[in-house]
Amino acid sequence: MFHVLVADSISSVGLAPILESEDITVVQKKVDEVEDLTVFDAILVRSATKVTEDLIKQMPNLKIIGRAGVGVDNIDVEAATRHGVVVINAPNGNTVSTAEHTFAMMMALLRHIPQANASVKSGEWKRSQYLGTELYNKQLGIIGLGRIGSEIAKRAKAFGMNVLVFDPFLTKERAKKIGVNSCTLDELLQEADIITVHTPLTKETKGLLGRDNLAKTKQGVYLLNCARGGIIDEEALVEYLENGHVKGVALDVFEVEPPKNNKLLTYDQVIVTPHLGASTKEAQLSVASQVAEEVLKFLNGKPVSSSINLPTLTKEVYEKIQPFYKMAKKIGKLASQCMKEPVSDIEIVYEGSVSELETSFITKSFLSGFLSERIASTVNEVNAGIIAGERGINYSEKIATNRSGYENCISILVDGESSSFRVKATYIPHYGERIIEINGYDIDFYPTGELLYIQHIDKPGVIGRVGNKLGEHQINIATMQVGRKEAGGEAIMMLSLDKPLEQALIDDLLTMDDIVFVRNIHL
């Protein structure tokens, strides 16, 4: 018998396939109401239950965690992976509901519906106080054009709005297909009358709309966040409401949920909902049935398609593949960080002994490393291929016909909108992973930690000036590798550092003579 704990309120109709299965017993209770957690093979949650490492440890039989929704911020995925527990989610089930909720918030905000509703119910009739603003002909700025952002764009166009989009990973082709104008973040901030955010919460998007960027927005701008609390910096937002620059705000999500002593709740021009984006009958039915079907597949030994952490490999295959699989993920992260622009094609060529393994998993591992730098953190080997396809990235793998002399070698070519990036790596047993070529320059370094990638002109003194500059800022260089094709031409440096550079120092390096390109890399 397979024991499932449904710890949050999840649609029973959607869960019917597991509730009706003779091989499964289902308990619908909160975690702290369950006497014996050790019997459960699966736990299904929404966002209320926090699946921490501690909880995972209390459930030694746990094999699968199901999240009836998109974000897995309430699940310690790393701990689950370490404990060999598969984590699945339902990435598409609530997209339309969240897009519709955002639209409902936008209209309520511009027509003062919550305020007017409260006023009439309190016996008032203040028609002139609630003069609204039309959506028609307004510039809507969408930050993040993924699943939900795209649905917002479609609806905005139907309302006669002009849609501007900032998404650093959006290709021109996809923007054209959806019919939106892709622009820089600064352009969006300067031109949009209404700005709505639809990115995951990552280190890049945390505080994305903070003091500096809010200062670039139009006087009287309206802001919406139905994605994740923290993308709009709440403290900065209070300042911009106080000084009247921001005219109105709609929030479904907060830095701390439920919000406690949050000053934003005291402003009349801020309208709020308690994280209701996905709260529709349809979305809840859809996410519940997606999760139930995946649990059934898992129980029957079939591959699950929405696993966000573990590949479905046998132990023997996994052991052989593991070094290449880990290395490919790092190369993916390296390539993605070196090339912060939309990409259309990725080619991976396997050479030597690695080409005899199940290379499709290594390719997916590369893609997951590459994509994880760009989209919500739920990308892994299982879903990377699908996500790459959705983002308009074509990828292919080949077996090399010519040998370069290495026992094994993986060569990757990433084609972007304005540049390409080529990288080669090999794995040497008992020695480790080595990057052996970048953009045609021979090099040899271990891909780990904080790295600094510099393209420069091969002239006496350049390396010394870089070393001095880092020294002035107390940045210790652990290792340094230099590669060039010919004396006096372009060359590259790869430095391994004890800490990353601040943006100001990168900008400073870029002003130095003979320095062409500088990029922090974190692996």
Ligand X SMILES: NC(=O)c1ccc[n+]([C@@H]2O[C@H](COP(=O)([O-])OP(=O)(O)OC[C@H]3O[C@@H](n4cnc5c(N)ncnc54)[C@H](O)[C@@H]3O)[C@@H](O)[C@H]2O)c1
Residue 155 binding partner per list ligand X, ligand 2HG, none, with a CB distance cut-off of 5 to 8 Å that depends on partner kind: none
Residue with token string 């790596």: 425
Cα 395 vs. chain centroid, distance in angstroms? 20
> To which H or E segment does residue 293 belong?
helix 281-299
Site string for ligand X, 276-315 (x = CB under 6 A): -xx-------------------------------------
Please identify which residue in 24, 56, 70, 348 interacts with ligand 2HG, judged by CB under 6 A: 70
> Helix H segments across 159-280?
172-178, 185-191, 211-215, 234-242
> For residues 35-64, which are near ligand 2HG according to CB under 6 A?
46-47
Task: Decide: is 145 part of the binding site for ligand X (CB under 6 A).
Answer: yes
Which residue carries 């280190």 as its tokens?
203
Please confirm, yes or no, whether 275 is among the known catalytic residues: yes
Binding-site partner at residue 149 among ligand X, ligand 2HG, none, CB < 5 to 8 Å by type: ligand X
Distance CA 522, CA 338 (A): 10
Q: What is the DSSP letter of 186?
A: H
138, 330, 333, 374: which one contacts ligand X (CB under 6 A)? 374
CA triple 63-64-66, angle to 5 deg: 165
- Residue 367 binds what, of ligand X, ligand 2HG, none (CB under 5 to 8 Å, by partner type)? none
Residues within window 203-222 making contact with ligand 2HG, judged by CB under 6 A: none
By rule CB under 6 A, what string of x and - marks binding of each residue 328-367 to ligand 2HG? ----------------------------------------
What HEC string does 421-450 produce? EEEEEEEECCCEEEEEEECCEEEEECCCCE
SS3 content of the chain, % helix, strand, coil (to 5): 35, 25, 40
Q: For ligand X, which is the closer residue by CB, 119 or 344? A: 344
DSSP 362-392: HHHHHHHHHHHTTS-TT--TTTHHHHHHHTT
Contact between residue 63 and residue 263 where contact means Cβ atoms under 8 Å apart: no
Window of 208-216, 276-284, 359-367, 434-442 that interacts with ligand 2HG by CB under 6 A: 276-284
Q: Is 155 an active-site residue?
A: no
Using CB under 6 A as the binding rule, whether residue 278 contacts ligand 2HG is answered as yes
Active-site option among 67, 198, 228, 374? 228
The residues, any chain, with a CB within 8 Å of residue 111's CB and separated by 6 or more, are 130, 132, 133
Q: Is 99 in the site for ligand X (CB under 6 A)?
A: no
Binding to ligand X (CB under 6 A) within 159-178 occurs at: 166-169
Catalytic status, residue 257: yes
Rounded to an integer, what distance in angstroms lies between the CA atom of residue 442 and that of residue 438?
7
For ligand 2HG, give the closer residue by CB, 93 or 141.
93
Q: Interface with ligand 2HG by CB under 6 A: which range of 16-24, 65-73, 157-165, 328-336? A: 65-73
363 burial via Cβ count (<10 Å: 0-12, 13-18, 19+): buried
Provide the annotated active-site residues: 228, 257, 275
Footprint on this chain of ligand X (rule: CB under 6 A): 70-71, 94-95, 98, 143-149, 166-169, 198-201, 204-205, 226-228, 252-253, 275, 277-278, 374-376
Footprint on this chain of ligand 2HG (rule: CB under 6 A): 46-47, 69-71, 94, 275, 277-279
